[in-house]
Amino acid sequence: MLEDSMTGLTPKAVVMFQEPTHPTHFKPQRLEVELSVASLSDSATCGSEMCEFSWYAPMPIINGSVVQRVKVKSIEMSSQHLHEKSFALNVNGYMVTTEKGEASFGTEIRALEDVLRVGSPSRPLWSVVDHAPVLLLPGIPDLTAVLMTATEFQHTSLIEVSLKSSSGSWECLQAESSMIQETLSTESSLFVIHNQELYRFLGNYSLLPLRVPPSDTWEKVLSAVCVSGLVPVSIPHHGREYFYVLGGGLQSGTLYRAEVYGQILNYGDVTFIELLDSVGFTACEIVAFYKNLKRSTLNDSSCQVRSVAQNALTDVTDIILVELLLHEDQEPSYILLTFDGDFQMNEILPGFILYSQRQWHQERSSLNLKFNGMTLNPSTGILYIWGNSLIFSYILTWEDEQSFWHDCGFPSDQMIKYFTLSYDGTFVFVTEQEELWWGQERTDSVFRLRPSQGWNELSHLQALPGDHSTLTVFYDGDKELQEVLYTVDLDGKGTVVKRKIPVAEILSFIHLPILSTCPFDLEYSVPHIESFNRLQRYSVNPQLVTSSSELHSTHSLALYQGLVYYLLQLHAQYLMVIGDPKESPISRMVDSCSGVHYKDFCLYLSYNNVSGVTTDSKGNITTRLPDRVYLDRTASFSFSLFIRAHQLTLESIGERAVNDIRMFATVPNSKYLRVTLQRYVQFNYGGVLYKVTVTDKGMVEGKVYPGEKLLPFSVLFRIGISPRQCFQQIDRGMVLSGLQNLPVYIGCPPGNRLVFDASTALLEAVRLNRRNFSCLNPDQDTPCFYYKNLFFPFLLIQDLVLGESRKFLGSYTLKIVGGGPHSRKNIQLYSPKEVMRYNSLNYRSQRARIWDIKGCKDNISSCNFNEEGLFIFNGTKNNGIRWICQPNSPCADVLSKNPAVSPRFFFIIEVSNRDTETYCNHTFRFDILVYDFPMTSSRKCYIVLVTVACFVGVMVISHSIF
């Protein structure tokens, strides 16, 4: 390490924060912090250059974010280049171990070999994708325990939990068991099923902004329901997490939707809604109604809800798979229902697989279809229904026709046990016989990974000592397939290990005899990637050290940590509602050095040659597609792709080889997205150039806040030359080439905001009113203005990612929604009726308005108003607001308690844009201070009368004395 450090190896730790599902005081954002590591001697008393040392980086934390990934990389200048490695580093507030070995979640069991057994069947790992800080794996035999991990099974703990189960309920028909059957991890809560009862853990994360103390208790939810299973909804949406609860026992056929939501005071609360028709029918009862069956003919086993999926593209719609078995000697039939307040019955699913032979003839197989579950990918709109076969349908086309396709290659003698999507274009499933299968979305074939020739080669290369068996398979945060195994070594020691399943290498054993290499190379050219992926980056370097070994001390590392903390504090302040055209977190840090408060800090940075931080915005052209693209109304994302044909033989590349290169694009829903491909054949360079443009069609209704309620889609780009038989070797292994998924999110992109430009408003107030003024005790968060001056509101659109600001030229409405005299403690928010009385022209007869527009005083018809009577401002004009504070307004008669200070009043102003060319709803509030209020005429008369009375009284008294 010392040699590598001296020869230029400088590792960097990139911390990638996952924005929380539930709303916090932070707006949705994408943020990365790149930290150069600092070397620290492992022995504090060592003064030699040969001391052993390690690399350290500060641990930045953003309040509200409990899921994050760390990527370690280095520059390629040293003798040993570090390959990039990514891992999870999540905040696990559940696992707080005490001196007694107990944790808030339960009691940790150290000796795994006393509990786990090799050969136990694998089980699914259910969680909210990319948002659950801990993962739970159930199925520990003969013990109320789960495997818990906060690092995607890099480190695992076996936790025994204490559940006060009321087993033996007469409603449940299953025998009592000590094993936890199913688990589900969300961002804020944990759920387990034990003895057909559902429990929720009441603990919390110590770093979330909670107002309630932690707890180590379990709460039984749905206490009157016998639970036969859970169905997860892996993708959260609209600030909510969902899952479904299937009823069992005497309540078989019932179905509940659980909604996990979070707010300031009740983070992680959950509500359950039974899915019933408007007349009170369950799913099974509505099937009986449509099938002309009597409700009495349905018993506990004749109708079952097998699975549920959730389509939440615009509104939440439940898709329900119902199994109907009327007679024991008949095969079951399967029916799909949709629920959006009422049940809608779709066509009965096919009972046999149909193979198309000719145009007018179809041959069916002898396999009777049986299904266990469903899985929906919301970004592609593909619904997978799996059992002893795998069929799929595009739900976005159901309005025209409900069609199902069959995935070829899966044998008829297997039954799928669980199914897992990567949400990156691939999926895997495990059968009852523990076979592992892999498939590519929007194709019609699946391939067996285990057992296979490639798997046998993998087992030889990654041989594990002793016995082992699979616990589960899952996709990690990098969308790579991982296998969790339980191993027992030759000494009988049990261990839970994780290893990557190299899908491309295994598949290559199937295709390499046919095609040994890719017949093409891909060269992407993507400009201004930060404008579309909305990823904000900071890069921070540690300060210099003066020791000859160039090793840091714990004191210098603490200062490094303080620098990162200060950066994130400034970043949080940058999200405020009052902005400046030249402001950014970097400039705010630099500007702070001009003040006395941060003088020592800035001198320290200067002496150590630390510039602070840098941002990576407005990047150059990149050679890869972004991990996601955000599109506002009618916005477009463009890139170029050059496909160069390989010279596979000694002969030169011919015209036919180039002409055979074709690229195709698949859009899940053409209503919202349009993809155009422009093809240019370039024989001189031996390839084809494609110019690709992905455009939003502007079909989304309504407006949303930045980064919220986005519609997810996935555009598939396919090279038409054997895409699943094309393998390329890169630094991190072999990868499939020729298929590229591009996630596209339609809506208001994150990282944009509308703010009040206070500095421009103050300058323009001086210029246009031709009067200088100053504030007593000025506050940058609350600018002040004179009552007699016209107030000119100026707004900015700020791009937090690119660090750009521009004047807002659109239309908007402005209204005062709160206020109070003298000090902030007197500020009150007005009721909706009061807001309209104080701001709307429709209520002018009540003489309670606070302000009006000077230009509308003489000719009101020349001004633009909405139906609520609120003035519509135009950002291209200087609309001067005149303070009037009519007699019935809250600011009508403001008197100062201190005769030396003029009367003042705080106003809370709400601004909302009315643009039609954007999906963004920029509604925000800011405070201003207005002072030097004049006295009302009645107050003046009262003072004059009192003064005259006092004067007369004095004269009378004087006259009587003399």
pLDDT of 649 reads 39
What is the pLDDT at residue 5?
Answer: 64
Using an 8 Å Cβ cutoff, are 30 and 89 in contact? no
The more confidently predicted of residues 85 and 400 is: 85
Find the Cα–Cα–Cα–Cα dihedral 217, 218, 223, 225, rounded to 10°: 180
CB of 325 closer than 8 Å to CB of 332: yes
Residue 209 has pLDDT above 60, yes or no: no
End-to-end CA distance of the chain: 105
Distance from C-alpha of 902 to C-alpha of 899, rounded to nearest angstrom = 7
Q: Could you tell me which of 878, 863, 707 has the C-alpha nearest to residue 792?
A: 878
Cis bond leading into 890, ω under 30°? Answer: no
pLDDT of residue 920: 93
CB 291, CB 52: distance < 8 Å: no
Question: Stretch 266-277: mean pLDDT, rounded?
Answer: 81
What is the strand order of the sheet 12-18 is part of? 85-88, 67-73, 12-18, 30-36, 535-540, 613-615
> What does the pLDDT look like over 496-545, one tens digit per residue?
999 999 998 888 876 654 444 677 788 899 988 888 999 888 888 888 77
Q: How far is CA 304 from the centre of its chain?
A: 34
Task: State pLDDT tens for residues 674-719.
Answer: 999 999 988 888 889 999 999 999 999 888 889 888 999 999 998 8
State the burial class of residue 258 (Cβ atoms within 10 Å of its Cβ: 0-12, 13-18, 19+): buried
pLDDT tens digit string along 446-480? 999 999 988 988 888 777 878 899 999 999 999 99
Strand partners, 475: 481
Packing angle between helix 599-607 and helix 554-573, nearest 10 degrees?
120
Sign (positive or negative) of CA dihedral 44, 47, 53, 59: positive
CA-closest candidate to residue 374, choices 227, 199, 244, 239: 244
pTM (2 d.p.): 0.88
Q: Read off the amino acid at residue 287.
A: V
Tens of pLDDT, residue by residue over 593-608, are 655 556 666 666 665 5
How confident is the model at residue 204, as a pLDDT? Answer: 59
DSSP-derived letter for residue 196 is T
Mean pLDDT, the chain, as a whole number?
81
Here the tokens at position 153 are 């099974």
pLDDT at 738: 81
Categorise residue 186: left if φ over 0, alpha if ψ from -120 to 50, beta otherwise: beta
> Can you tell me the distance from the alpha carbon of 250 to that of 301, in angstroms, rounded to the nearest whole number?
10
DSSP state of 740: E
CB 148 within 8 A of CB 159: yes
DSSP annotation of 22: S
Give tens-digit pLDDT for 356-376: 433 344 455 557 889 999 999
Distance CA 589, CA 12 (A): 23
DSSP state of 866: -
Mean pLDDT throughout 921-946? 75
